[in-house]
């Protein structure tokens, strides 16, 4: 059965980007070969869900290199956004529960990657649709920024795996306890 997975990196103080949406603190941090291989993770993904702000960031920073070429992408928005021709992208204003169902169906038995951002991930957590969090904590404190998961309700997780990488980053896989 498909899972909805929030795979994300965050600072030690719980931010996924600076207040201005910058990721330079993350882009300049070498995780090393010991980190979970992105390609291995991505092989198990059949669809992605992306918030409008994250989608805009991707389009501004990698406009000619859409990273999810071979799978359906659902962009949560109530606005009209530009979409490059030939991409399997659906703009949707669906609520988290409905969208989770559609994305899991589109994933064809594989998992769904909740790419972000934090508010988007929180909407799925609040709707009881988030099953797992794969969190890489980078050893840096930003002080302020965009929160990793600003849910409106308490979220209980069970650590499945946790390891310290030689780079100083910490990888954690957390199963979300649905109540």
Question: Per-residue pLDDT for 63 more than 80?
Answer: no
Distance CA 169, CA 179 (A): 30
| Greater pLDDT, 62 or 96 | 96
Q: Single out the residue of 36, 35, 27 nearest to residue 165, CA to CA.
A: 35
Segment among 1-10, 32-41, 47-56, 69-78 with least mean pLDDT:
32-41
pLDDT band at 66 (very low <50, low <70, confident <90, very high): very high
Q: If you average pLDDT over residues 125-137, what whole number do you get? A: 96
Mean pLDDT of the chain: 93
pLDDT band at 179 (very low <50, low <70, confident <90, very high): low
Q: What is the pLDDT of residues 140-169, one digit of tens each?
A: 999 999 999 999 989 999 999 999 988 899
Q: Which residue shows structure tokens 């990196």?
A: 9
What's the predicted TM-score (pTM) here?
0.93
Q: 123, 6 in Cβ contact below 8 A?
A: no
Q: What is the pLDDT of residues 97-118, one digit of tens each?
A: 999 999 999 999 999 999 989 9
Of all helices (H) and strands (E), which one includes residue 59? Answer: helix 52-61
User: What pLDDT, on a 0 to 100 scale, did the predictor assign at position 135?
Assistant: 96
Q: 157, 177 in Cβ contact below 8 A?
A: yes
Distance CA 126, CA 100 (A): 12
Tell me the CATH class for 4-176.
alpha beta
- Half-sphere exposure of residue 10, counting CA atoms within 13 Å on the CB side? 24
Q: What is the pLDDT of residues 9-36, one digit of tens each?
A: 999 999 999 999 899 998 888 877 777 7
User: What pLDDT, on a 0 to 100 scale, did the predictor assign at position 31?
Assistant: 79
Question: Per-residue pLDDT for 170 more than 90?
Answer: yes
């Amino acid at each position: 059965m498909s899972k909805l997975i929030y795979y994300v990196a965050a600072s030690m103080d719980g931010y996924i980007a600076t207040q201005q949406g910058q990721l330079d603190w993350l882009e300049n941090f070498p995780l090393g070969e010991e980190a979970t291989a992105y390609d291995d993770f991505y092989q198990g993904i059949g669809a992605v869900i992306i918030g409008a702000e994250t989608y805009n960031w991707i389009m501004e920073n990698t406009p000619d290199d859409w990273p999810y070429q071979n799978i359906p992408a659902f962009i949560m928005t109530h606005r009209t956004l530009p979409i490059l021709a030939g991409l399997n992208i659906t703009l949707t204003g669906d609520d988290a529960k409905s969208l989770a169902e559609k994305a899991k169906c589109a994933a064809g038995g594989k998992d769904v990657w909740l790419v972000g951002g934090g508010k988007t991930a929180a909407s799925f957590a609040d709707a009881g649709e988030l099953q797992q969090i794969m969190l890489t904590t980078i050893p840096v404190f930003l002080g302020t920024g965009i929160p990793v998961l600003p849910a409106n309700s308490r979220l209980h997780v069970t650590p499945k795996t946790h390891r310290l990488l030689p780079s100083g980053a910490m990888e954690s896989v957390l199963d979300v306890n649905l109540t």
